[in-house]
């Protein structure tokens, strides 16, 4: 490939004149902007161990009362993006949130889309758009763009969950903001009861329900786990036992920009995942696994661990147990890449 002229080759006076006119020559930066064949990525493979992180989160519970935090979160920041930028990947924000018994995280709504993957504890609820969604381990709760949400905890032990937001993308687009609101009065519905069986949806007066853009707000782990096991038993020929969290009314991704999946690794299974353009986050709901690949230091994910892998990286994901299934929650940027027209799978 032809090497191009550098900035240093240009007379200083010319460079200064261009800068004073808010002009920049392209050619010294062209190869960095459009590198040959594969993009440059800031995202570094990064592993956050729950066992190491948990005590620091509990310490935050002692140091900072809810009134001073609003959301008591330790952000899982990718050093490749600079910790202060609080990104796991270009479009994904990850946070570990703690709610102590009796606490309440006040109602607000914001432009970024969020989901919660519950890690431990029982008895908390997230009220989303007036529906009080129970939060139990492994549940996925959606708080899509613009919907009011608040968290409360009536149980007896700390509750911890993983927040996954498209915040870096929405912030980059200069569209990130929040509005504070009054405590919601929950109405009917707990986010999951209208769509408990696959293939059927509520049909009031035989019309297809279309009034809510996000009709399902809670995906109970007990049901998703059973669906994975049933699928695995029914289809021993399937290589990947994986489910996509979707909007049951539209059949599209559950949210606009990030994709969410539950993967079951059969006992002793190793799965090869091809290089794809999106960055992806892996979180072990149950069990353990190893994620490895060329140029990637192997990451041993214990239960409740979380890691991120940059795009365009082929990986192998191996069940850490020979005798039991491992269940992995995955979040990626595939819906965004499809909308941008840059989604790619390389074999
Ligand atoms: O629970 O609403 O991790 O607004 C970051 C921003 C959680 C939340 C985060 C938020 C929330």
Q: Hunting for tokens 């049951």 — which residue is that?
A: 248
Our mutation pick for probing the ligand 1 site, out of 72, 74, 88, 95, counting the most ligand atoms within 8 A of Cβ, is 95
- Nearest CA residue ID for atom 6, ligand 1: 71
- Residues near 259 by beta carbon (within 8 Å), at least 6 away in sequence: 244, 253, 278, 330, 331, 332, 333, 334, 335
Our mutation pick for probing the ligand 1 site, out of 60, 165, 177, counting the most ligand atoms within 8 A of Cβ, is 165
**pLDDT at residue number 209:** 64
Ligand 1, CB cutoff 6 Å, lining residues: 71, 73, 95, 97, 110, 114, 149, 163, 165
Q: Are 306 and 75 in contact (CB under 8 A)?
A: no
The domains found in the chain, sorted by start residue, are 46-183+217-346 (2.60.120.10)
**pLDDT at residue number 54:** 98
Q: Hunting for tokens 């200083």 — which residue is that?
A: 12
Q: Which two three-digit tokens encode residue 54?
A: 């948990």
Q: Hunting for tokens 């800068």 — which residue is that?
A: 19
**pLDDT at residue number 248:** 95
**pLDDT at residue number 204:** 84
User: Which regions in the chain score pLDDT beneath 50?
Assistant: none
CA 89, 93, 97, 103: dihedral to nearest 10 degrees? 180
**pLDDT at residue number 295:** 86
By DSSP bridging, strand 326-332 and strand 149-153 are unpaired
pTM score above 0.95: yes
Q: Where do runs of H (alpha helix) occur along the chain?
A: 12-20, 30-33, 50-63, 167-172, 221-234, 334-340
Question: Does an H or E element contain 225, and which?
Answer: helix 221-234
Residues 25-37 pLDDT 10s: 999 999 999 999 9
**pLDDT at residue number 305:** 99
Ligand 1 atom closest to residue 110's alpha carbon, by position in its atom list: 4
């Amino acid at each position: 490939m032809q090497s191009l002229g550098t900035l240093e080759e240009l007379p200083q006076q010319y460079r200064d004149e261009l800068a004073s006119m808010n002009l920049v020559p392209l050619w010294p930066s062209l190869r960095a902007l459009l590198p040959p064949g594969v993009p440059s990525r800031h995202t570094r493979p990064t592993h956050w161990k729950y066992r190491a992180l948990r005590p620091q989160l509990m310490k935050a519970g002692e140091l900072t009362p809810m009134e001073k935090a609003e959301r008591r979160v330790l952000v899982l920041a990718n050093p490749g993006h600079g910790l202060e930028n609080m990104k796991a990947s270009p479009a994904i924000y990850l946070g570990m949130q703690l709610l102590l018994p009796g606490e309440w995280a006040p109602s607000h709504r914001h432009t970024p889309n969020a989901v919660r993957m519950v890690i431990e504890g029982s008895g908390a609820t997230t009220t989303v758009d007036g529906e009080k969604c129970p939060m139990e381990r492994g549940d996925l709760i959606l708080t899509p763009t613009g919907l009011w949400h608040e968290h409360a905890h009536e149980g007896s032990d700390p509750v911890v969950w993983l927040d996954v937001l498209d915040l870096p993308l929405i912030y980059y687009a200069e569209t990130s903001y929040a509005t504070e609101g009054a405590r919601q009065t929950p109405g009917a519905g707990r986010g999951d009861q209208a769509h408990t069986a696959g293939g059927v949806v509520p049909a009031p007066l035989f019309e297809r329900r279309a009034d809510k853009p996000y009709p399902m707000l809670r995906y109970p782990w007990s049901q998703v786990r059973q669906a994975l096991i049933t699928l695995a038993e029914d289809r021993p020929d399937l290589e990947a036992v994986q489910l996509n969290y979707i909007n049951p009314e539209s059949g599209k991704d559950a949210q606009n920009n990030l994709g969410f999946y539950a993967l079951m690794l059969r006992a002793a299974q190793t799965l090869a995942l091809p290089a794809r353009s999106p960055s992806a986050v892996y979180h072990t709901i149950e069990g353990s696994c190893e994620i490895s690949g060329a140029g990637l230091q192997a990451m041993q994910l214990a239960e409740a661990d979380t890691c991120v892998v940059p795009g365009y990286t082929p990986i192998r994901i191996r069940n850490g147990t020979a005798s039991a299934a491992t269940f992995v929650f995955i979040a990626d940027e595939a819906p965004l890449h499809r909308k941008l027209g840059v989604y790619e799978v390389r074999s």
